[in-house]
Amino acid sequence: MQIIIVGCGKVGYTLVEQLSGEEHNLVVIDEKEDRVASITDNLDAMGIVGNGVSYQTLQEAGIAQADLLIAVTGSDEQNLLCCVIAKKAGNCKTIARVRNPIYNSELEFLRKELGLAMIINPEMTCANEIARIFQFPSAMKIDTFSKGRIELLHFRVTKECLLNNYQLLHIRTALKCDVLVCTVVRREQVFIPRGDFVFQAGDVVSVVSSPAQANEFFRKIGINIGRVRTVMIVGGGKIAYYLTRRLLAAGIETKIIEQDRERCEQLSSLLPKATVICGDGTDQSLLLEEGLEQVQGFAALTGLDEENILLSLYAKKISPRTKVVTKVNRISFNSVLSDLKLDSITYPRLMTADSIIKYARSMNESLNSNVENLYKLEEGKVEALEFYIKEENRVTGIPLQNMHIKKNILICCINRGGRIIIPGGQDMLAPGDFAVVVTMNTARLHDIKDIME
C-alpha cells in the first residue's frame, strides 16, 4: 500500500519501524528536519520536510495515489485538518490521533462527520486496557478481537499452579473447562499447542473463553480470580483520569496520588467520587499511610519509566497479592523488564501504534483477500486472522475434529450473529460466521479455505 505518515515523533517512528518491513511504500512528513532524517536514515521510507496540512506538501508526498494517511503530530486540530484535506485531495482512508479530553465525548461524531476511518486516543486506549486487567486480575495482558466481543487472556503458569507439568488435553477431559488454549510462550519460543503439550512453570499461556468460564478455569487451576475492589494510582496524568473514570463507573474505589497541586484540584473537580491525594508518590511512608498494603490494585503511571518500575517492585514487595500495572514509554528494554517478572506492563506508545497498524494490515489484507481483520500477537510471531464466511464451501458443515487443518493453525473462536462460540471438536463453521484463526505459518492465509491441507 501507499501510506503517508504525518508526524515523526515517537509514535510516527514506531509506525514506520513496524510497517517498513511489510512491503508498503511509506512517506513521512514533519516540519522538523532532524526528525525526518532520523527515520529516513535508519528505516525504509521517503521523507518530506513540511507541514502536513499543506495541500502542496501532501501533493508532493503523493496523496493522489495514497491508500492511507495517518496523522500523529502533537496537535489534535492539525491531525484532524490534515485528514480532511487528504480526503478531499486523494480520497484515501485516514486515521487521526486525538488526545485532548475535551474531544472525548465527540470522537464518534468527528469520525463520522469528517469521514475518518479511525480516531485514536492513546491515553484512553491505554486506560481501557488497564481497566480490563483490573477487572480480570488473573490476566497479565488482554487482547481483544471482533470489535471487543472476543478476549484473549494471557497469564503465567506458576510452580504452585495446577497446570505446572499438566497435559493440555486434561483441561477439557479432567477439569471440564470450556476454554481454548491458543498460544504458549516458553522463553523465546512460541507454540500453538496440541493435546499432548505439557505446561511448565514460567510459560505464558493465552486462552479464549467467556468471562464466566475463564473465572471457573482460573479457580480450578489455583490462580486468584475476581476483579479488584480498591485501586491506588500514582501519577495524575490523562491516563489516570480516563482510568479512574472507568474504575469508578465499575464501582471500584479509586485513590490518586499526584504531586502537582493544581493538577490535584483539576482531578478533584473532574472526579468528585475519587480520593485525590497531593503528595510525592515515591514517598514510601506516604504510600503506606494511604493504605498500599490493603489495596487490591496498584497502577504506576508517572511520567518516568524508572519511577514506575521501582514503584511497582516496591508495591509487589509490600503487598504480594496486589495486582500491579506498570506504565513504560520506552520499549527498547523489553527483554530486561521481562526478567523482573512485573505483573502487567503497558506501553502507551506501542499500544497506539499497534491499533493503527492493525487497521493498516487489515486494510492491506482486504484488498487482496477475504480477511476482515489481522492481528499480530507475541511480538509478531503469531497472527490472528478474522474471516467472514460468505457462503457454503469446503470448510462449512464439517465437524472441526474431521477437518484436515494445516499444522500450526487453530480455529480459536466463532462469532455467530453476536454469539461467541469457543469451538470444540463437534462444532462446525457455517455461512454468516466470523471465524478467528490463529496461525504461525509464514505463508499468508488469504481465505478461510486456505487453512485446509
| Side chain identity at residue 112, one-letter code | K
Question: What is the side-by-side order of every strand in the sheet holding 382-388?
Answer: 371-377, 382-388, 434-439, 409-416, 419-421
Q: What is the largest CA-CA distance in the chain?
A: 67
Cell digits for 248? 469508578
- Would the pLDDT of 146 be above 90? no
- Would the pLDDT of 443 be above 60? no
Q: Does residue 72 contact residue 11 with C-beta atoms inside 8 Å?
A: yes
Outline where DSSP puts E strands in 177-301.
180-186, 189-191, 204-208, 230-234, 253-258, 275-278, 297-300
**How far apart are alpha carbons 424 and 8 in whole angstroms?**
46
DSSP 271: -
Cell digits for 120? 485514536
What lies within 8 Å, CB to CB, of 415 at 6+ separation is 146, 149, 150, 421, 433, 434, 435, 436
**How far apart are alpha carbons 67 and 88 in whole angstroms?**
13
Helix (H) or strand (E) holding 216: helix 211-221
pLDDT confidence of residue 365:
61
Helix (H) or strand (E) holding 18: helix 10-19
- Would the pLDDT of 156 be above 70? yes
Cell digits for 346? 503497558
- Would the pLDDT of 338 be above 70? no
**How far apart are alpha carbons 331 and 145 in whole angstroms?**
24
Helix (H) or strand (E) holding 19: helix 10-19
**How far apart are alpha carbons 257 and 138 in whole angstroms?**
25
Question: What is the side-by-side order of every strand in the sheet holding 141-145?
Answer: 141-145, 150-156, 204-208, 180-186, 189-191
Name which of 436, 428, 420 is nearest 403 in CA terms: 428
Dihedral, CA atoms, 182, 188, 189, 192, nearest 10 degrees? 10
Q: Tell me the pLDDT band of 166, cut-offs 50, 70 and 90.
A: very high
Q: Tell me the pLDDT band of 152, cut-offs 50, 70 and 90.
A: confident
Q: What 3-state class would DSSP assign to 302? A: coil
Name which of 228, 227, 290 is nearest 258 in CA terms: 290
**How far apart are alpha carbons 392 and 402 in whole angstroms?**
17
Q: Looking at per-residue confidence, does 369 or 300 come out higher?
A: 300
pLDDT confidence of residue 333:
63
Task: Report the range of poorest mean pLDDT among 24-38, 91-105, 139-153.
Answer: 139-153
Q: Looking at per-residue confidence, does 384 or 316 come out higher?
A: 316
Q: What is the pLDDT of residues 234-259, one digit of tens each?
A: 999 999 999 999 999 999 999 999 99
The β-bridge partners of 323 are 297
**How far apart are alpha carbons 181 and 155 in whole angstroms?**
11
Domains of the chain: 2-120 (3.40.50.720), 138-221 (3.30.70.1450), 230-346 (3.40.50.720), 381-451 (3.30.70.1450)
pLDDT confidence of residue 442:
52
Average per-residue pLDDT for the chain: 88
Q: Tell me the pLDDT band of 331, cut-offs 50, 70 and 90.
A: low
Q: Identify the sign of the CA torsion 425, 438, 95, 354.
A: positive
Q: Tell me the pLDDT band of 332, cut-offs 50, 70 and 90.
A: low
Q: Is 74 exposed, middle or buried (0-12, 13-18, 19+ CB in 10 A)?
A: exposed
The β-bridge partners of 3 are 26, 68
What lies within 8 Å, CB to CB, of 65 at 6+ separation is 2, 90
Exposure letters 244-254 (e unless 16+ CB within 10 A, then b): bbbbbeeebbb
